[in-house]
Chains A and B, each alone.
Chain A
Amino acid sequence: MFARFKNRLLLQWLANRIPGQRRHQLSIQSVFILPTLFGFSFMILCVCLFILGTNYQNNLLLLLTYFFVALGLINLFASYRNFARIRLQAKGIHPVFAGDNATFQMQLVHTTDAHPHGELKVHWWGHATGIVVDLDDTAGVISLPRFTYRRGVFSLPRVTFSSMYPLGLFKCWTHLDFTQPLTVYPKQQTCQVRLHSVNDASGEVTSHAPGHDDFQGLRAYSEGEPLNRIAWKTVARGLPPAVKVFSEQSGQAGYLLIDPNSGELEHQISRAAFQAVALCRQNLSYGLKIGSTVISQGSGLEHRNRCLAAMASIPATEAANDQ
């Protein structure tokens, strides 16, 4: 409870301090810097060396101590400067189905003169683990995976970047908000494809009608069927005669229906998602009707994505929220 409250306060403060942007240039405003555990140990080491140097009246030891102190000081600035050279731009995130990993891509923008160096640890706000990117190595694109649990349109949380270059005495970090929406399509649930006519919801429209276009399968032969449909190959193998069945796209395409007030809304949505994907694969035309909103008929990948996005943004029912 307290942790959640603290988290909220912190996020609020961050929103003021580092407002969300598509493009970030790190600066004094957005970079935090503190000594690491090793940094503190380094200080203790300096104290030890100082005591040793004083007790032995050893000037070189003292000089070494002061050199370490100065190096620490220089490191503070060098660390910050290196980190502040990072420029980032969100490249966007492709929608995924719930339960898959979405990949958020960011582009490191290099200015001509000075590149940042060293390893950069990237992780989502509040996550302990993340990925490590070597700034000397990457082609400039950082791909940060994010696991998705449920459908919806979310705004991406802040991304935390941290670096301890050059000597690990200080850790620079920042939390950036790229203001990118993440659309998570509903999980697919395998089912039969069923299209409904929009006017009378009761009438089912099957998308497959017997026809001449596409080979669909074999069926046992019954007398009276045309001879040119018999699959002679199977007969030649000594199997009982079968008939080739062809199908063609039905002239009248239908709609996928989702009732937003239904008790099993999530299942409905999942099934609809599966059907949309299946229909798209067969390049069939279909529409989507969610309650009163209607997406008119269409086909192709873009249409599919539009439908899936619409499904993703259906507000969840109470029951789903409780889960």
Chain B
Amino acid sequence: MISSHLPIAGHRASLCIALTLGVITLCLYQQLMAWVLLLMCCAVGSRVFLFKGAYQRAPGTRTINMLALLTCVALGWFSRDQGLLLTMVNLLVCACALKLLLLQKHRDFLQVSGCCLFLIGCTFIFSQDLFATILYAVILMAALLSLQLLYAPQQPFKGHVKTLLKMALQALPIAVILFLVLPHLPPFWGMPEGKSSETGLSEKMTPGDIANLTQSTERVFTATFDNALPAPQQRYWRAMVLEHFDGYSWQVADYRKARQQLLPLMPGQSSSEAVQSTIDSPAWRYQLLSEPSGNSWLYALGYTRPQNSSTAQKTWRGDDYTLMSRQPILSKQAFSLVSYPRTPLLLSPLAQERQVNLQYPEQTNPRTREWALALRLQSSSNADYIKRLLAYFADSGFRYTLQPAVMRHAPVDAFLFDYQAGFCAHYASAMTLALRIAGIPARVVSGYQGGQLLDEKVLNVFQYDAHAWVEASIDGKHWQRFDPTSVVAASRLLYGFQNAMADQQEDLPLFSRARSHNSAMVAGVYQFMDNINYQWNRWVLGFDGQTQQDFFTRILGHASIERMTLFSLAVVLFIAGLLAFYFMPRPTQRNVKEPLRLYQHAAAKLHRVTGLPRDNLPARVYQQRLNPLLDKADQQALAQFIACFEAVEYQPEHAAKQNLLPLRASYKVLMRSLKTRGPFKPPRN
């Protein structure tokens, strides 16, 4: 390895790697701490100055070591509330920045480039959409370019780019083949998570929470259905069940959490397995492509099972019929699911569930309690009670709004009797409490409702589709879904959030997705980008073990050992063939013209027969040298052939054309004449 010192001013490779690192750092700004960003900016800036020669002396080793020490301390300090992954990324960026200041030898440069390549890999953990991927691909090229600049400092820039792009294009097909063919393994071990971003639902719902959510236009997941779509009223994507109520907020009950710890470890124990026997058609089969949320809950329509084994390996079901991923979803992932809408959700045989779903603090909302108890007394049955309850919401002038008043004390009381305006969380919360007061087990379910059709079978669900509704058990056996919000704002249910909220959109930014429905063109652009993104998500990000399996099955039919062996062999051969195609020296592009080809054949034959090589001699001189070695007939044939050859090659066009046929004829004569002679044997002495 060359360990000579690198030049400083005008060294293109250093500048290139510095700029590349700078851009990567900017791409990672969400994950990096401000001071790390600043450090990198300084490093890149100093590199630029050094390149221009405005500043001659690079900082010394001692300074850098001091800085490194400081950085380590700071990173160690912040690492506690950052999580391992982010700390690692921060550390890498810091190391790169410091090394960048200290580029003295080839080795330093290689270390920085190695780190840079790894950082590019890390960026893919955090974002994977198509445009980010294109950006990262460009960055990757820049990083490789800087390496190449290091090894060929004087090659013109254009040549560098050409060489590099050529190599990349050559490598890409091989990479794709490897990607398609090599097995997609399950995770080896759990990875440290980044701090979950605050998108999505949370495990605790206090009125006000979901309103913030509805402003967000981030996509949550995409569902691709195999056959018919559920009707808009049926699109209740259950995410989690909030059972514990403290008078103010709803959250996942502690016993539920405990079971969630336990259940993944013992499959088959789940009570919902019992329902299997009662599965009815119809079923909705769909592929759920989840955006990274940092959480492990998934979204399911009613009673849902994994469709295949690879999804089954990745997920488990809670006994509240929620679907969970075994790993937190940190990157886009696909799940194949099947839902049975008619299958009832059973109440757990454990008494605990019933007990929790009847529990409420009696003091917090006294007015509600009185009112509910009175209402229950008026009702003939639980069903009648629920009907009256919904009728109350419908007739008492309740409004749906995204900007409700703040209700700090006795929120349900305030909502039901003072303000009578709120959104799904308020309605669900109030109804569930009323049900529980009346002795009906009830719980809040949060998730998403609705979704936007991308095409006939593809549904996009965005954060603003977040919703909360009620599940109650009238008969004590099954859970039944009630949506009090729909009573107030039926349009939300039928046409989705966007239409329902058409009058409340003034605050949204002009080109936000939520507003896009006003203009056909903007909508078209969004539609187009959605489509591209969808295809990208579906085919690239959603390509998993199962898809691969299907792919193989489609190609190979039944996958037997022999077939797989043959297939792998074919793949290896194909890659070897590709390499050969790239690198085998090509025969000269100009195709040799016929007369010359004939002559060369003849000369080769004559060489074999007589042992006299042509050695760059012109035709006639070679003929003269050959003559003594040939017999009469051969001589004549050769003379005829050479005469024709000369005529074709060297005479003016018209003569040349006339002589082409005689040339062929004389060639045949010559070859026939020579055929009788065996190959030349050197005389032995």
| Interface residues, chain A, with chain B CB atoms under 8 Å away | 36-38, 41-42, 45, 48-49, 51-71, 73-75, 77-78, 81, 117-119, 121, 132, 134-137, 163-168
Check A134 against B540 for contact (C-beta < 8 Å): no
Check A62 against B184 for contact (C-beta < 8 Å): yes
Check B144 against A167 for contact (C-beta < 8 Å): yes
Q: Which residues of B contact A54 (CB under 8 A)?
A: 184-188
Given contacts A41-B114, A117-B152, contact A60 B174 (CB under 8 A): no
Q: Which residues of B contact A73 (CB under 8 A)?
A: 171, 174, 579
Q: Which residues of B contact A51 (CB under 8 A)?
A: 188
Least Cβ–Cβ distance between A129 and chain B, in angstroms: 9
Check B147 against A77 for contact (C-beta < 8 Å): no
Check B152 against A67 for contact (C-beta < 8 Å): no
**Cα–Cα, bound, A63→B110 (Å):** 23
Report the nearest B residue to A60, measured CB to CB.
B124
Q: Which residues of A contact B163 (CB under 8 A)?
A: 78, 117, 166
Offer 20 A-B interface pairs, CB within 8 angstroms, sorted by A.
Answer: A45-B118, A51-B188, A52-B121, A54-B185, A55-B189, A55-B190, A63-B540, A66-B176, A70-B171, A70-B174, A70-B175, A71-B167, A71-B168, A75-B167, A134-B152, A134-B153, A164-B2, A165-B148, A165-B152, A167-B144
Least Cβ–Cβ distance between B654 and chain A, in angstroms: 33
Check B2 against A132 for contact (C-beta < 8 Å): yes
Binds A, one of B198-206, B327-335, B342-350: B327-335
Report the nearest B residue to A163, measured CB to CB.
B151
**Cα–Cα, bound, A42→B118 (Å):** 10
Check B124 against A69 for contact (C-beta < 8 Å): no
Chain B interface residue count, CB cutoff 8 Å, equals: 60
Q: Which residues of B contact A165 (CB under 8 A)?
A: 148, 151-152
**Cα–Cα, bound, A51→B159 (Å):** 35
Check B121 against A55 for contact (C-beta < 8 Å): no
Residue picked from B118, B144, B155, most chain A C-beta under 10 Å: B155
Check B121 against A70 for contact (C-beta < 8 Å): no
Check A77 against B583 for contact (C-beta < 8 Å): yes
Least Cβ–Cβ distance between B546 and chain A, in angstroms: 12
**Cα–Cα, bound, A47→B2 (Å):** 26
Residues from 148 to 207 in B contacting A, C-beta threshold 8 Å:
148, 150-156, 159, 163-164, 167-168, 170-172, 174-176, 178-179, 182, 184-191
Check A61 against B121 for contact (C-beta < 8 Å): yes
Check B147 against A74 for contact (C-beta < 8 Å): no
Check A56 against B175 for contact (C-beta < 8 Å): no
Does B656 lie at the interface of the complex (its beta carbon under 8 Å from any beta carbon of A)? no
Check A68 against B117 for contact (C-beta < 8 Å): yes
Which single member of A58, A69, A77, A119 contacts B582 (CB below 8 Å)?
A77
Check A117 against B118 for contact (C-beta < 8 Å): no
Q: Which residues of B contact A119 (CB under 8 A)?
A: 2, 151-153
Check B175 against A63 for contact (C-beta < 8 Å): yes
Does B133 lie at the interface of the complex (its beta carbon under 8 Å from any beta carbon of A)? yes
Report the nearest A residue to B148, measured CB to CB.
A166
Does B471 lie at the interface of the complex (its beta carbon under 8 Å from any beta carbon of A)? no
**Cα–Cα, bound, A63→B163 (Å):** 22
Check A74 against B167 for contact (C-beta < 8 Å): yes
Q: A-B contact count, CB below 8 Å?
A: 163
| Interface residues, chain B, with chain A CB atoms under 8 Å away | 1-2, 4, 110, 114, 117-118, 120-122, 124-125, 128, 133, 140, 144, 147-148, 150-156, 159, 163-164, 167-168, 170-172, 174-176, 178-179, 182, 184-191, 327, 330-333, 540-544, 579, 582-583
Least Cβ–Cβ distance between B37 and chain A, in angstroms: 23
Residue picked from A55, A59, A68, A164, most chain B C-beta under 10 Å: A59
Check B171 against A136 for contact (C-beta < 8 Å): no
Check A38 against B125 for contact (C-beta < 8 Å): no
Residue picked from A41, A71, A78, A135, most chain B C-beta under 10 Å: A71
Least Cβ–Cβ distance between B73 and chain A, in angstroms: 26
Q: Which residues of A contact B331 (CB under 8 A)?
A: 56-60
Q: Which residues of A contact B184 (CB under 8 A)?
A: 54, 62
Check B125 against A69 for contact (C-beta < 8 Å): no
Q: Which residues of B contact A45 (CB under 8 A)?
A: 114, 117-118
Least Cβ–Cβ distance between A102 and chain B, in angstroms: 23
Q: A56-B330, A78-B167, A134-B152 are in contact. List 18 more A-B contacts (CB 8 A).
A: A49-B121, A51-B188, A54-B185, A56-B125, A59-B128, A59-B541, A60-B124, A60-B133, A65-B121, A66-B174, A66-B175, A67-B171, A70-B172, A70-B178, A78-B163, A117-B152, A167-B151, A168-B151
**Cα–Cα, bound, A70→B168 (Å):** 9
Check B579 against A77 for contact (C-beta < 8 Å): yes
**Cα–Cα, bound, A36→B120 (Å):** 22
Q: Which residues of B contact A134 (CB under 8 A)?
A: 152-154
**Cα–Cα, bound, A167→B151 (Å):** 7
Least Cβ–Cβ distance between A19 and chain B, in angstroms: 22
Which single member of A37, A61, A69, A166 contacts B167 (CB below 8 Å)?
A166
Check B148 against A38 for contact (C-beta < 8 Å): no
Q: Which residues of B contact A167 (CB under 8 A)?
A: 144, 147-148, 151
Q: Which residues of B contact A117 (CB under 8 A)?
A: 152, 155, 159, 163
**Nearest 10 Cβ contacts at the A-B interface:** A70-B174, A70-B171, A118-B152, A66-B178, A67-B175, A137-B154, A136-B154, A66-B175, A58-B331, A71-B171
Least Cβ–Cβ distance between B141 and chain A, in angstroms: 11
Least Cβ–Cβ distance between B359 and chain A, in angstroms: 39
Report the nearest B residue to A167, measured CB to CB.
B147
Which single member of B124, B148, B153, B182 contacts A66 (CB below 8 Å)?
B182
Least Cβ–Cβ distance between B588 and chain A, in angstroms: 10
Residue picked from B121, B163, B164, B184, most chain A C-beta under 10 Å: B121
Report the nearest B residue to A51, measured CB to CB.
B188
Q: Which residues of B contact A132 (CB under 8 A)?
A: 2, 4
